[in-house]
């Protein structure tokens, strides 16, 4: 292969449409813009969503709901994952270090999936009602 022989793939390039060049081109006279009006003129432009002064759709419809920006940064941890950790005192940093939750997590909550058979102390980590009961039944404690 030589630099002077490189060509684009077949069909990758096509000629730009030449408008306003006579009746024979099929795009003469009004050049595909129709007759009169703002969009037929040079520089005729309005912003996206503009409806000619009518109240635009995004303002006619009611605002609804709320999407929390921190909701995606609340992690869940299984009870069986907690049981597998070799450490007895578990906090957010411990879970991040063990790769059980993402590095950008702001909070964590233990859910009742699996079993726990040893005593663990959770500090600064939430737990569901049943998960808390299971941890306390195994002799551990939860302090949020």
Determine the topology of domain 74-143 in CATH. Answer: Ribosomal Protein L15; Chain: K; domain 2 (3.100.10)
pLDDT at 4 over 90: yes
Residue burial 114-133, b: 16+ Cβ < 10 Å; e: rest: eebeeebbbeebbbeeebbe
Reported confidence tier of residue 18, pLDDT bands at 50, 70, 90: very high
Residue 70's pLDDT is what? 87
Residue 46's pLDDT is what? 80
Token code pair at residue 134:
């299971």
Quick: pLDDT tens for 100-118: 999 999 999 999 999 999 9
**Measured between alpha carbons, how far is 75 from 68 in angstroms, rounded to an integer?**
14
Question: What is the domain partition of the chain in residue ranges?
Answer: 74-143
In 3-state terms, what secondary structure has residue 69?
A: coil
Q: What is the C-alpha R_g of the chain?
A: 32
In 3-state terms, what secondary structure has residue 109?
A: strand
Looking at residue 77, what DSSP letter applies? E
Kindly state the helix (H) or strand (E) to which residue 61 belongs, with its residue range: none
Beta bridge partner(s), residue 25 = none
Q: Any residues with CB less than 8 A from the CB of 101 and at least 6 apart, and which? A: 75, 77, 92, 95, 108
Quick: pLDDT tens for 24-34: 999 999 999 99
Residue 25's φ and ψ, nearest 5 degrees, are -80, -15
Region 10-23: what's the mean pLDDT?
Answer: 93
Quick: pLDDT tens for 23-74: 999 999 999 999 998 889 998 888 898 898 999 999 999 999 998 888 889 9
């Amino acid at each position: 292969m030589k630099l002077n022989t490189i060509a684009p793939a077949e069909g990758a390039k096509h000629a730009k449409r030449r408008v306003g060049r006579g009746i024979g081109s099929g795009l003469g006279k009004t050049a595909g813009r129709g007759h009169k009006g703002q969009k037929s003129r040079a520089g005729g432009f309005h912003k996206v969503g503009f409806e000619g002064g009518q109240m635009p759709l995004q303002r006619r419809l009611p605002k609804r709901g709320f999407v929390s920006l921190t909701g995606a940064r609340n992690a869940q941890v299984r009870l069986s994952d907690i049981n597998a950790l070799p450490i007895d005192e578990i906090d957010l940093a411990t879970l991040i270090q063990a790769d059980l939750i993402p590095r950008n997590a702001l909070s964590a909550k233990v859910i009742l999936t699996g079993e726990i058979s040893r005593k663990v102390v959770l500090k600064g980590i939430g737990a569901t009602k049943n998960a808390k009961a299971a941890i306390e039944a195994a002799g551990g404690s939860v302090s949020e």
